[in-house]
Amino acid sequence: MKENIFGKDINACEAVMKDLGEARYRGKQLYQWLYEKRCNKFSEMTNFSNELREKLTDKYELFHARIQLKQEDHHDRTKKYLIELGDGQYIEAVLMHYEHGVSLCVSTQVGCNMGCKFCASTKGGKIRDLSAAEMLDQIVLAEKAEELRISNIVIMGIGEPLENYEEVIKFIRIANTGFGIGQRKISLSTCGIIPGIEALAEENLQINLAISLHSVFSERRKVLMPIANRYELEPLMDACKAYFNKTGRRITYEYALIDGFNDRDEDIAGLIKLLKGSQNHLNLIGLNEVQESAYKESPRLNYFFGELEKHGVNVTMRRKMGREIDAACGQLRKKEMRIR
Ligand code: SAH
């Protein structure tokens, strides 16, 4: 089988050309064709000689995944895509319209191994990592389907991005330099993989880092998120501080409010103690209830928000989008697997 040329970064594009006995600048041109011009055929790369186009065609393919199914929420125009990958696996991407632009929620793995108790993506475990090409394809396919340009990327779909570190970083760099999406318009969410956070701090990227917190009490966090047994809350917060000191980038903490579990008054007090001040940002999320889970959405969201704001926590509420369409990560893929 031929190797897919899509997903190669600038260094790899240069290596391709070197390999074919071409000058280095040809690598830059290839990169421009693939990402800036979204060219889908070697035969249309018109500043390459016929001979070079043939050499590329002999050795490489230019493959994209395809949209298998599309759902739309007619209230807020949120769209969800079920995407079929080259090997027949499925992932999801979600497109959301905001006042500031169009945001795409991107998956990084087929399934997930993190086991968070409230999350639908992790129920069947992880099947494999996605390649950078497969993450870029989510942008390519959504933009093509809607005939628009995506301005923001949230790496918050199926999977744990910092468990697929190399490909995710490659994806971010190509999305930035190839597709022209600003680094500050890219957000990456992690359940708290400390070595990944430490590595990310050294990448010299201006992206937004989000940490899935969901409880300020170590033992409760472990109940919700098994990964918290390996990366405990206290060292995680130390890693976040070090990340801020190194990058100067404020960190967002995500907190899905669960009825009777993390929405108590002592949770409010704990959050104030942990996150008060300008270096932190707390994003409150209404829990998306998933099947086979006992956790229910909390009725205290507005109260919680008000109390935290009153006490100096930099807090926002994530607007729920795509309610009509199985929008919580992983639900559509799971349904598709059940049917099959
Ligand atoms: N693995 C990464 C990114 C994917 S999840 C992470 O854990 O951060 C993206 C965000 O959605 C995380 O904050 C996650 O905790 C949250 N999330 C997952 N399932 C949810 C649900 N059912 N309701 C609300 N938020 C959920």
Q: What pLDDT score does 290 carry? A: 85
Find the residues whose C-beta lies inside 6 A of ligand 1.
Answer: 114, 116, 118-119, 156, 160, 189-191, 212, 254, 256, 285, 287-288, 290, 328-329
From residue 112, alpha-carbon distances to 13, 137, 164, 172, 247 in Å are 30, 19, 11, 20, 28
Active site residues: 92, 329
Long-range contacts of 56-63 (CB under 8 A, 24+ apart): 56/5, 56/16, 56/20, 59/2, 59/3, 59/20, 60/2, 60/3, 60/4, 60/5, 60/16, 61/2, 61/3, 61/4, 61/5, 62/4, 62/5, 62/6, 62/34, 63/4, 63/6, 63/133
> Other C-beta atoms within 10 Å of 95: how many?
25
Number of the ligand 1 atom closest to the C-alpha atom of 330: 19
Say how far apart CA 237 and CA 235 lie, in whole Å.
Answer: 5
Give me the pLDDT at residue 291, please: 78
d(CA 187, CA 193): 16
pTM of the model: 0.95
Reading the chain (340 residues) residue by residue, the pLDDT tens digits are: 899 999 999 999 999 999 999 999 999 999 999 999 999 999 999 999 999 999 999 999 999 999 999 999 999 999 999 999 999 999 999 999 998 899 999 999 999 999 999 999 998 999 999 999 999 999 999 999 999 999 999 999 999 999 999 999 999 999 999 999 999 999 999 999 999 999 999 999 999 999 999 999 999 999 999 999 999 999 999 999 999 999 999 999 999 999 999 999 999 999 999 999 888 999 999 999 887 788 999 999 999 999 999 999 999 998 777 766 766 556 667 666 665 5
Q: Which mutation among 103, 116, 158 tests ligand 1's pocket best, with the greatest number of atoms within 8 A of CB?
A: 116
